[in-house]
Amino acid sequence: MTYFGIILTGSPYQTQRWETACLIAEGALDRSDKVSFFLFMDGVYNALAAQRFPAMEELPKDRFASMIERGAEVFACEVCTNNRGLEEGAGYLKGVKVAGAAFVSEMVAKCDRVLTL
């Protein structure tokens, strides 16, 4: 089993980085690999539960909720969350944990592969 760490810095509607990260993570989960996300900078918006975008069939929140159900861990940067007024992570999907930026070094130390998008 391989342990993938994914650091996602981009917000959900600026680029397709979130979708690339999800495709990689879903493929890893299909192989029974372990996946942890660290949402950093505007990446913290990817796991908000209240996303609405009528033009899209599937939203980032749907993909993240599915991956959490499949065993992926999702952490959001505490400073990034608070500085964006996200109230200590209260608006996140169930299962998303808020962690300090120092958590990244712990995650990277445990991972076999780390991707930054």
The full set of domains in the chain, from first to last, is 3-112 (3.40.1260.10)
Cβ neighbors of 55 (< 8 A, separation 6 or more) are none
Average pLDDT value over all residues in the chain: 94
Check residue 66 and give its pLDDT. Answer: 98
pTM of this prediction exceeds 0.85 = yes
Q: What pLDDT, on the 0 to 100 scale, is given for residue 15?
A: 87
Which residue would you say has higher pLDDT here, 29 or 90? Answer: 29
Structure confidence at residue 105 (pLDDT): 93
Q: How confident is the model at residue 36 (pLDDT cuts 50, 70, 90)?
A: very high
Structure tokens at 15: 């680029």
- Give the phi and the psi of residue 91 in degrees, each rounded to 5: -90, 5
